Every structure is written in structure tokens, then in C-alpha cells.
Structure 1
Amino acid sequence: MPTPRFALNHMAAPSLPIEDFFGMATALGIDAVEIRNDLTGNAIIDGTSPETVAAAAKRHATTIVSINALQRFNEWNATRADEARELIEYAKACGAQALVLVPKNDGTGRADGERQENLRQSLVALKPMLDAAGIVGLVEPLGFDICSLRSKVEAAAAIDALAARSTFKLVHDTFHHHLAGEEQLFPELTGLVHISGVDDPTVSVADMRDPHRVLVAANDRLDNTGQIRALMEAGYAGLFSFEPFAAEVHDLKDPEKALRASMDYLSTQV
């Protein structure tokens, strides 16, 4: 089996300025990155222009896979439409290929019938906006019990009901896949995979949260290696993007060294 193709989400080293982040990716032999709009004091939220981001990516021969993310995308209203328009414009101007779409995760909008209609309404509204810009919408179900879109099966059904596979793809997040207890893979509809591990032996699956998400190593409880292998064996040939949220990762003095160790581990195990 070929070695997984890795990408780097800015959440892997959120304190690094965008130029240094791209430089670290290059040093790791990674040529694909995800930028974010939720990092205080960093691009995009600090007002860095998309042209500046595009120039930095060009200097490092780096492809911007996505902007992460339009939050609460399945709660469509005038505010969301404005946010979507702004992010899609930024994505196009900086050369990003896709926009990650994250559902609301506060316990609302979970009722059967309601959540499917909310999802459909948002996809219908987003499709012409994304198509006009040539940007892919990456739908990311979250595995948390309180999330309004936990299931990739449900997301895939909504995309197919609109015959919209050319516009929308799924994000397979190894953390959320494990939490949701999902078994079905959608390799042909998966546009990106987010990878992170949990090594805390004391936390229950139901209590796992973003601060538990570390770099994948031998004591990982999420079976990242099994998930990656299954996706690749099923035909997925895309990127596996590191997205750790744990403070212990963000505080590392040498994130490059830690990322390289995780890359080496996954490459040998998969």
C-alpha cells in the first residue's frame, strides 16, 4: 500500500505566523495546508489579505487545500449567508480549493426531520455560491452527541438528493468518526481526512472533546491507522490532514519534530 499523503491544518501549530507555518510544512515535505479563520492574532482573523496568504503559499510551493471553516453552516440565515460569501471570496482570492462546513454543535436542531431540512436548505443556498467561485464545500459531521449533524450517511444522502457531488464532499475526521460510532466509509465522496489521536486512558469515548486531541502515536485509542488503511484500501487517494487541538501539542517548542514523528509512525503502520 502507498504511504499516506499528509497535509497540515494550522491548528497543528496555531501560534506560528502563516509564513512560518507554510515553512514548517515545506520542511516536513508537506505541500498541502489548511488555513483557519478562528486563530486570534493570526491570518485570517488578524486582517491579513488573501493576496498576502496566496503570495506566501506560492513562495513555499504550497497548495491551500481549504479554509476551515464556515461555522453553524446548517443554520441558514442572512448572517450565515454573509459569512459564507465573505469566506468564499477569501478562499478564491487566496487560492484555496475548498471551504470546510461545520454544523452547529450546541444541542439545537437535532430533531428528526428538522435537521435534515436544515441541512438541505443550507446546501441549496451554498451550492450556487460555491459553484460560481469554483470552491468545493467540505461537509464535516461532528461525532458529539449534541451535534446537529453527526452522520456521514445523512450528509451523503443530502448531497446525493441534490445531485451535488461536484460541489460538495465529505470530511472524514478520525476523531468524529470514532465518537459517532459510524462504520460506513464514503471513499468516493470524501474530499479530505482530518487526523488526530486520543491517548488519555481515563477519558470515556462519550467524554472525549477537542482538548483531548493529540498527534497520533502508538497509544492512540481512535484506531487512526485502521481508519486510514480502510479508507485507502477502499480507494481514497486524498490527503490526511493533521488537526490536533490539545494544548500540550500547541505548546510544543518543536512542533516540527513531533509532527515528523507522527508522520513516520503512521507511514510505517499503515
Structure 2
Amino acid sequence: MRFALNHITTPNLALPDFFELARRLGMTEVEIRNDLPDVVGAWAAADVRTEAEKAGVTILSINALYPFNDWSGDLPERAIALADYAAACGAKALVMCPRNDGTEIASDRVIAALAAMKPILDERGLTGLVEPLGFPVSSLRTKREAIAAIEAAGGRETYRLVHDTFHHHLAGEAEFFPDWTGLVHISGVTDPGVAVADMLDDHRVLVDGSDRLGNLAQIRALLAAGFEGPYSFEPFATEVHDLAEPEPAVRDSMDHVSAGVAAEAGA
């Protein structure tokens, strides 16, 4: 398993401490954010690069450009600024999330947004990681829709997908697209009382034996299909964020996932 760590797992850790935690967990790949925590707003890009090089970690992505598929207002300006920052700090990609408030975005607008974003990414050597959100209010719920838009925009060489195990489950998707996948986000839901349609980011915890999202089955399917990229922990629940000792909790989740996948492989 090629594990990575998203900073939202431990948003209370300062950036250097977050990088050090990843290394203690045996990881060399991380994701930083522009929301929780807002590394982009708090750190100069050059300093982020310096800290990453010092810790020996690669920055997979910055989360996230939102809402990428509503290419209006100040979004083009924000997109350029975030891409500039990503290139300067050494990040390899930008995660791109669709509008998620019940607003419908027609497919031609999604295509136009991807076409407009393509040269911004290409000129800086960045990959656009399109992440469909499975919420009922999302304007782009499935990976198949995203792929169709990417192809229509001529973006096959620029874009890849984020397979998020939470959003895959919420959207009711059955298909896997390993050749299109650049990154996997993993988190679990263990609350037995919440219906799938009512699951929110606040329910997302570290993956354990009580997981309701089928993380192990999803990961097995991706591995069996040949996906060799990173699996990045991305829990949003405050109960995870508030852990006084996050390291053993993340390590336990790593062990659970690794053991579950290995057990199936050896069956």
C-alpha cells in the first residue's frame, strides 16, 4: 500500500510537524490545503517547498480549487493564483471540486471550465485532479460524467480523477476507472444511525472495522485493476481532528487497511 496523508487529518498541527508526522508513519507523500488548515493563506510558497524538502516529502496536491466548474466571477483569477502557488511550492497537482450547493451546472459549462483551466495547468506542469462529489446537492457526482467532460475538453493528458471512497459510495457508483485515477482519498463512516443520503463530511473518520463505506472492497478493486498510486487519508470529523495523539490512530488505520487487503489477496 502506498499511503499518503492529507493535512485535514491533523489540521491543528503546524506544517513542519505535519510533514514530520507523515515521515514517522512511513509516508513520503502529503497533501496540503487552502481551507482547513489554510496553508496557502498562511505560508509563502517558497517556505512550504523548503519545509517539504527538509522533511523529505513530496506534495502530491493542494486541496482545492472550488468550484472549478463554475468558471465565472473571480474563479479564473483564483485559479491562476493557486496554480502559481502550487508550482512554486513544489506541488504536483491541484484538486478541483465542483459546486456543491444544489446549483445545477450544465455539461457544456463543465467542459468549458476544464478547457479554460487546461492551459493554466499545462504551462506550470501541473495535473488537474478532478474530484466528483457524491452528495445529492453536488453538480458533478460521478466519475463517468467527469471523464466525459474531460475528453470533450481535450484534457486527457492534463486531468486525472480523485477516487474518493466516501463520495464513490454516496454516488452509488459501481464502476472503477484505474487508468483515469491519479489519487485515492480514503475515509470511513462508522455511525450506524445515519442514512447514506444524509452522510456529510462531519461523519468521515479513519477507516476501521466498523466502516460502512466498503473501503477495503474499493481498495481491493482498484489494486486488482492495476492502480499503483497513493491512498491518502482524508477524515473530516472533528473527533479525529481533536485527537491528542493522532499518530497511533492513523497507524492503526493503516494497519487495518493493509491487513484487510492482504487477507483478501491471500484468500
Bin of the TM-score, shorter chain as denominator length: over 0.9
Deviation at 1:117, TM superposition (A): 1.1
Q: Give distance in 2, aligned partners of 1:243 and 1:229.
A: 18
Among 61, 64, 67, the residue aligned to 2:59 = 64
Question: 3, 9, 14: which one pairs with 1:12?
Answer: 9
On the 8 A contact 2:130/2:161 being kept in 1, the answer is yes
Deviations 1:113-138 (A, max 9, x none): x2x11210100100011000000000
Q: 1:31 aligned to 2:28?
A: yes
Pairing partner for 2:71 from 73, 76, 80: 76
For 1:170-209, what aligned pairs fall within 5 Å after superposition? 170-209=161-200
Query: Identical aligned pairs, as a percentage?
Result: 56
Amino acid at match of 1:157: A
Give 5+ residue unaligned stretches, structure 1.
none
CA drift at 1:197: 0.1
The letter for the 2-side match of 1:56 is E
TM-score by length of 2: 0.96
**Aligned length, in residue pairs:** 261
Normalising by structure 1, we get a TM-score of 0.95
| Cα distance in 1, alignment partners of residues 153 and 102 from structure 2 | 26
- Say if 1:39 and 1:45, in contact at 8 Å, map to a contact too: no
Distance in 1 separating the partners of 2:111 and 2:209: 40
Establish whether residue 52 from structure 1 lines up as the match of residue 47 from structure 2: yes
CA contact (8 A) 1:17 1:43 kept: no
Unaligned runs of 5+ in 2: 262-267
CA distance in 1, matches of 2:13, 2:41: 14
Query: How far off its partner does 1:39 sit?
Result: 2.5
2: CA distance between counterparts of 1:166 and 1:6?
Answer: 25
The root-mean-square deviation of aligned C-alpha atoms, in Å, is: 0.9
Spell out, residue by residue over 1:99-119, the C-alpha distance to the aligned partner (whole angstroms, 9 max, x if none): 000000000025xxx2x1121
Query: What's the offset of the Cα at 1:159?
Result: 1.2
Q: Give every structure 1 segment of 4 or more consecutive aligned residues whose post-TM-superposition deviation is greater than 4 Å.
A: none
Q: Give the CA deviation at 1:256.
A: 0.7
Give, in angstroms, the shift of residue 43 of structure 1: 1.7
Counterpart contact for 1:210–1:246, Cα < 8 Å: yes
Deviation, 1:235, is: 1.0
